[in-house]
Amino acid sequence: MNSKGSRRLEVTYQIGGPETVYEGLDGDEFHTSVHWDGNVLVFETIEHEGGKEIPETTVWALSENGNNLQVKRRSAKSASKGESSSTHVRQP
């Protein structure tokens, strides 16, 4: 925890490599594989929480001009909320 009360977790993934296994800030274990699917980067994660396995897929897509990064996340944990999506815009 830092002086502002927030916590930080850094994870390094190997694209197209072996699964990355790490412990989240809440103590749950995560197993993530990362690969390219055409021009999008796909993160496939299984969260191990309280004896359950919760799948999540996150897709990163960069616009042709390189200024917009769209992130779409689909998780069984929040199935009632559906898919979440965000767009990050780079300011020149």
Question: Does residue 49 lie within any of the structural domains?
Answer: yes
Residue 11 domain flag:
no
Which pLDDT belongs to residue 17? 95
| Mean pLDDT of each 10-residue bin along the chain, 92 residues long | 76 96 95 96 95 92 86 75 65 57
Residue 6 included in any domain: no
Query: Residue 35: which CATH number?
Result: 2.40.128.20
pLDDT of the residue at 68: 85
pLDDT number for residue 74: 87
In what order do the strands lie in the sheet containing 40-49?
20-23, 29-37, 40-49, 52-62, 68-75, 84-89
Number of structural domains (the chain) is 1
Evaluate whether residue 78 is within a structural domain.
yes
**How much is the pLDDT for 3?**
63
Structural domain includes residue 4: no
Range of the domain at 81: 20-89
Determine the Cα–Cα distance for residues 29 and 19; give it in Å rounded to an integer.
Answer: 13
